[in-house]
Structure 1
Amino acid sequence: MSRHLLILGGGTAGTIMANSLRRRLPAQEWSITVVDRSEKHLYQPGLLFLPFGKYEEGDIIRSTRDFIPQGVEFMQAEVDRIIPEEHAVTIKDGRTLKYDLLIIATGCRTAPEETAGMLGPKWRVNVHDFYTLDGARALREKLKTFPGGRVVVHINEMPIKCPVAPLEFTFLADTFFRERGMRDKVMLTYVTPLSGAFTKPKASKKLSHLLGDKGIELVTEFVAEKVDQENNKLVCFDGREVPYDLLVTTPTNMGDEAVRRSALGDDLDFIATNKHTLQSIEYKDVFVIGDATNLPASKAGSVAHFESETLADNIIRHIAGEPLKEEFDGHSNCFIESGNGKALLIDFNHEYEPHEGGFPFAFGPMRLLEESRLNHWGKLAFRHIYWNVLLRAWPLPGISRQKKKPVES
C-alpha cells in the first residue's frame, strides 16, 4: 500500500523538497502532494528591484505548476488546520488530507497590523512596504513622482525574510535618487531595532561604513511603538521619534496563519524545529523547512536550499528507521546590493562570522565582504539559477550545505 508524503507550501523550500524527494522516493511506494494557495510562484528577491523599475512583474512571476515535477500532485488550496495527532491536514474547502510524513514549508508573511498605526489611511500613500507584490508595485508608482524629502527605511522587528533586503533597498534608493539628479533633495535614514546595520558584527561594521560613506543616517536600537500617520513620524518605545515624508517599512514577519489556527507555533507563529535535523521538536513525523521554522538562521532562499539537502537525507533516514543527521549549521550566503552597479557577498553560519576570501572556491572568482561589479552581476544572474537549477534541486557546484571553516586571504 502506497504511503503519502504531504508538503505544505509550494514556495522555494516546498518546491525544492518536491523535486528532490520525487527523485529519491520510489513512486510505487510513496505518493507526494504539494499544497499551496497560489498558482503563481514569486521570485521574492526580485521584489527589491521592482520599485526602481529594474525588474517587471514578468521577470519574477512564473506558474507554480511549472516547477512541480512529474509524479507529484499539486493542489491549489488553502490550509485550514494541521492536526499532527491524527496525521491529517484540513483544507478550507472542507477536505481532509491524510499523510504518513509531513513537511511544513508554509513560509512567513508580513503583518503590518501588528504595529499600531501602520495600517492607517496613509498606508500605500506615504507609508509603503516592498516585501509583497502589491506593496512593491505601489512603491514603484510612488517613487516615479516623489519630489524629495525625508525617506526613512525601517525594520520593525526581527526576524524578517532576507535580513539584508532593507539595507539593499536603502543603497539602491541612494543610487536611484542620484541618477535622477535629486539626491541633494532627499534625506535618507535607515532605522533598525538592531545595535548595528546587521546581525553579524563584522558585516555590520562594513555596512555601517557604507551607509556613512553614502550620507545615509543610521538609527539603531529603535523598536517602533507606533506609526503616527497624522504627524508623519515613527515613534519608538523609548520616546524617540523619526520624522518622514516617505516611510518604507518592513513590517513584523510572522508564520502562516494556518500555523496559528493549529496552535503549532510560538508568539510569531514560527514552529519549534530541531536546528540541526529540521525535525519538529514535538512531532516525529513532521519536518519543517525554510521561513516556517524558528531556527536562529536567516530567513533566506539560500538557507532553504542548504536546509533542503540535509532534510532530504533525513527524510530517507527517517523512513529507514535510521538516526537523523544532526548536520545543518545555519549556513547562509547572500549578495548585498550596495548601489552604483556593485554588490557585496557574505557567507556565514551559526558559528562563523562573515569573512573575507574567495567564493565559491578559495581562488574566487567572487570576493567576500568586498564591493564589486562581479558580485552585482552574480546577484542578477542568480534569478536564472533560481528558476533553472535551485528550484529543481540540482546541485550547485562548489557550494556546500555546510559552512567550512573560513580561510582568510
Structure 2
Amino acid sequence: MILSRYERMIAKRYLLPGKGEGFIFLVASISLVAVMLGVAALVIVMSVMNGFRAELFEKSVGLNGHAVVQGYGGRLPDWREVLAQARATPGVTSATPLIEQPLMSTYEGRVEGVLARGMRVEDIRGNPVIAGNVLSGRLAELTPGSGNVALGARLAEALGARVGSEISLISPQGPATPFGTVPRVVSYRVAAIFEVGIWDYDSLFVVMPIEDAQTLLFLGDAVQMVELDTVDPDRVGEILQPLASRVEGRAAITDWRQMNSTLFDALQVERVAMFTILSIIVLVAVFNILSSLIMLVRAKTRDIAILRTMGATRGGLVKIFMTVGVTIGVLGIAAGLVLGQIFLFFRQSVVNAVQAVTGQNLWDPSIRFLTELPARTDPVEVIGIAGMALLMSVLATLYPAFKAANTDPVQVLRYE
C-alpha cells in the first residue's frame, strides 16, 4: 500500500493526539499494549511448550532410544543375533543391549524404589545424556565386577547417599530355599552421581555395567532388550518394519511414541488449546484498534469532508485510516516480539522471583518432569504469530476506513 506525501502527512497527524483527542489516543495506546501483550503471551507459551517437547524428547530418547526390541518374558537370550540384524537394517544408526529392572534400594535405613539399568561400559561413557551431566564422581570407575554404580541426583538426595557411599539393591529374584525364594541383597559403591534434568530419571536410575546387572538378576548371558536409534524418529515404525518381521515370535518392538504416548499427546493437546485461548487476547486487542479507529473517524468527520471537497479520493481516505490502524498493530507486534524474547531469556529468574515473593513452589520438578523451565523458539511459529496478528489488524481497519471514505461532504458541511 503506497501512500502519497499528503496521505502520509495526514496519517502521521492522526496517529498523534490533537486538541481534545486525548481519550482517542488513550484507547489507541491501550490497543497497542493489548496487541503487545497478546503477541508476547503467544510467543512465550508456544516457546515454552516447544521447549517442553524438545527437552523431554531429547532426554527420553537419549536414555531410551527411538525404539527397543524387548524379549518375551523379560529375557532376550539371542541378543547378539538381534543386535546384528538391527545394525544391518537400513536406517538404524545404533543398537545397544540393555537391562532394566525395578528394584529396591536401601542406605542407612532409608528405602527407595529404583530402576536398575545395566549397560555396556562403553555405552555408559559414550551416552551424552549421562556422561554430559555428571555432578560428582567418575564414570570411569564403572567397570565389570567393580561393584560400582552411578545414581541419579534426586535418588541420591532421597537416600542421603554421596560418592563413596555403600548402598544395597534388593532383588526379589533370589536363591530358592526350602522356605521359598529369599530376596537377593547386594551392596554397591556409589562411584558417580548424574543429573539428567528429568525428575523421573534422576529419582529412579541406578546405572551399572551390564555384566553386574546380569549377575544381580541371574540372567546369565541374556539381556532384556536392545535399544535402537534411527535416522528419523518420526519414521521409526517404517524403518523398523523389516526388523519386526525378523524378530516376530521372539521379541516385540516398542517405539518412543508408544513408550511416551500419554505424555506427548497431552503436550500436543495443551499446545493447541493454549494457542487458541491466547489468540483471543490478540482478537480483543484488534477490537480495541477497531473501536479507536471508529472514534477517530467520528472525531475527524469535518476534516474528512473538507479533504473530500479538496479532491481527496475515497481510496486515499481508505489508505490513510488503514495506515493508522495497521501502524498501531505493527508497533504492538514488534513490541510483543521484543517483550517475549526478553521474558524467555530471563524466564527462570522470573519464576524464581515469583516463588520468592509468593512463597509458593511454582516449579515442582516431581510434577513438571523437568528441573528448569525450558524454552525453544521456533522462528516459523513466531512469523506465523506475527502474521496472524497483522492480518487481524488489517481486517480491523477495513470497516472504519470504508466508513470514512463513504462520508458525504455535502451533508457534513451543509450548515458550516
Q: Using structure 1 for the length normalisation, give the TM-score.
A: 0.21
Whose helix fraction is larger, Structure 1's or Structure 2's?
2
**Bigger Rg over Cα:** 2
Q: Which has the higher contact order (CA 8 A, sep 6+)?
A: 2
